[in-house]
Amino acid sequence: MMKLNFLVGLLLLSVVVGCSSSTPTSMVEDAAVDADAPVTEVVEAAAEPTYDVALTVPTMNCPFACWPKVKETLEHQPGVETVTLAKQADENAIDNPTVYLSLSGEFSADESIAALGEAGFSGATVNQ
């Protein structure tokens, strides 16, 4: 019984000590604030993708079947390193059928557009 009382007392002590939310006075005094320190304003800008070529694929209509097929088709083209879909207003629909390509070697826009046509996405063009 004495062991049980000891354990209960220890448990209560740990709860009381562990739940203390007060800040020691010494920590408050050490934290000096310089009201005259310069302030840097952080402005969030729209993220512009870094790319080498942009293609418009007007027959790419959905992000669930079309976009993955377009991405796979373009990733298999010589010289293509990455393929990124342009920002969409709604993640469940494609309202901007633009894809950005980062290149790492020889690239043929004509061959890539032809490959998209063979994959069922005709009418693709290079953005100017």
Segment 28-87, tens digit of pLDDT: 455 555 667 665 555 444 566 689 999 999 999 999 999 999 999 999 999 999 999 999
Is the Cβ–Cβ distance between 108 and 64 less than 8 Å? Answer: no
pLDDT of the residue at 20: 44
Segment 81-105 shows an average pLDDT of 96
Bigger pLDDT: 92 vs 24? 92
Give CATH for domain 65-126.
Answer: 3.30.70
What is the three-class DSSP state of 126? strand
- Rg, Å, the chain Cα set: 29
pLDDT of the residue at 128: 75
User: Which residues on neighbouring strands pair with residue 125, listed in sequence order?
Assistant: 56
